[in-house]
């Protein structure tokens, strides 16, 4: 993305979990998304080792929003880096940290690695989103329930990312998803059945709205109807679920353009939506995203209570000036995950993309790469 997914495997987690072995033959593998206007380098798909059948799987490699900087939006110089050490502050204790992830597996397997204390404290110790990225309708309810029940048992809030929309990433590197919208609607029903009754945040389909220009008008109308339905189904299944829709990021579509698309997808309706998310897997500075998200919300309309969440996992130094999207040099961790921001209409800072899971340059797409993680964390 210019701002969202990364290599998706099976049920997907930004915390980096893996799909069950018995579902491997049915799972959709997403390859790193397409790069608009830039020569494309083919990369092999990556499937992590299997884990228990209730587990989700690793975060996708860079999807459309992560890579694309649209020419229609005037590029700004990156905001200055914060004076504090990124990632050094504690994360919000109310957020749930899933116990299985690629980074936690690396920490357990490398007790004597000199990089371990930094990676463990600044990345593995922080809660991150859990991605559900392969089309396995028979397993998704149990997998979602495993995460939400784990959060409920601790009195903490899990963050879930359904990422199975048909024509995902416009057929680019992270292509995949459900075979059609009817199958997607049924998959969402099964996903919702696992939500339980506790508080949960749902980041609904990264790139699905901002990266919809490859669809014809009928296809786009169908996708947006399914997204609006998904929001209604999720909130009806669990009234404490907070559902956020794809706003791309501040260097992609203009706020007015994005709001018009979001309105068609149901994001202005309180029956479907609690607001929008931005910067998923991207590097745009938090200050830029705050200003952009407020403009989107203003243009979107809807209830005053609609808010925004921002992915701050890797944006501590803002985006690189050259627009590089693939594991760019000089990036740092951003603000720790938090459900309180002190900023009007900004509901949360979340780590949707897990730092250290490569975009495909410093390591295989979607896999945890210790050297990259250490660069971000130190």
Which residues, including other chains, have CB under 8 Å from residue 218's CB and lie 6 or more apart?
none
Would you state the structure tokens that stand for residue 207, as one six-digit string?
A: 């790139």
CB neighbourhood size of 375 (10 A): 18
Is 169 a residue of the active site?
yes
Q: Catalytic: which of 169, 274, 311, 347?
A: 169
Please, which residues bridge with residue 203 across strands?
244
Q: Catalytic: which of 100, 134, 274, 359?
A: 359
Is 100 a residue of the active site?
no
Is 359 a residue of the active site?
yes
d(CA 114, CA 50): 28
Q: What is the DSSP letter of 169?
A: G
- Cβ density class 320-351: b for 16+ within 10 Å, e for less: eeeebbbbbeebbbbbbbbbebebebbbbbbb
d(CA 237, CA 241): 8
Q: Catalytic: which of 134, 207, 211, 311?
A: 207
Q: Nearest Cα to 145, choosing from 153, 120, 221?
A: 153
What one-character-per-residue DSSP string does 355-373 give? TTB--SSSSSTTSB-HHHH
For the chain, what's the residue count?
A: 378
User: How distant, in Å, are the alpha carbons of 63, 232, 301 from that of 32?
Assistant: 6, 30, 34
The owner of tokens 């490859």 is: 214
* Active-site annotation, residues: 169, 207, 359
């Amino acid at each position: 993305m210019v701002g969202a997914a990364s290599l998706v495997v099976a049920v997907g987690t930004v915390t980096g979990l893996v799909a069950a072995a018995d579902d491997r033959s049915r799972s959709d593998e997403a390859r790193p998304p397409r790069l608009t206007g830039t020569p494309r380098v083919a990369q092999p798909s990556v499937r992590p080792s299997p884990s228990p059948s209730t587990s989700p799987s690793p975060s996708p490699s860079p999807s459309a929003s992560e890579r694309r900087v649209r020419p229609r939006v005037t590029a700004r110089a990156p905001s200055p880096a914060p004076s504090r050490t990124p990632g050094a502050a504690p994360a919000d204790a109310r957020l749930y940290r899933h116990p299985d992830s690629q980074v936690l597996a690396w920490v357990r397997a490398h007790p004597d690695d000199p990089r371990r204390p930094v990676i463990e404290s600044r990345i593995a110790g922080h809660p991150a989103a859990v991605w559900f990225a392969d089309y396995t309708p028979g397993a998704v309810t149990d997998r979602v329930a495993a995460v939400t029940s784990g959060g409920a048992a601790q009195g903490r809030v899990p963050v879930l990312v359904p990422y199975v929309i048909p024509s995902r990433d416009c057929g680019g590197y992270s292509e995949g998803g459900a075979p059609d919208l009817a199958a997607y609607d049924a998959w969402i029903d099964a996903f919702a059945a696992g939500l339980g009754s506790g508080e949960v945040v749902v980041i609904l389909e990264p790139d699905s709205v901002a990266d919809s220009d490859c669809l014809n008008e009928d296809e786009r109308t169908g996708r947006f109807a399914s997204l609006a339905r998904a929001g209604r189904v999720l909130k009806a299944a669990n009234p404490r679920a907070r559902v956020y829709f794809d706003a791309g990021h501040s260097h992609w579509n203009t706020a007015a353009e994005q709001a018009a698309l979001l309105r068609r997808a149901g994001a202005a309706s309180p029956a479907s939506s609690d607001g929008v998310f931005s910067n998923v897997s991207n590097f745009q500075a938090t200050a830029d995203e705050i200003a952009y998200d407020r403009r989107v919300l203003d243009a979107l309309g809807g209830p005053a209570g609609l808010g925004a969440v921002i992915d701050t996992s890797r944006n501590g130094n803002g985006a690189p000036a050259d627009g590089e999207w693939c594991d760019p040099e000089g990036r740092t961790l951003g603000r720790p995950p938090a459900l309180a921001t002190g900023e009007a209409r900004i509901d949360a800072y979340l780590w949707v993309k897990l730092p250290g899971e490569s975009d495909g340059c410093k390591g295989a797409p979607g896999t945890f790469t210790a050297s990259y993680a250490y660069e971000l964390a130190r």
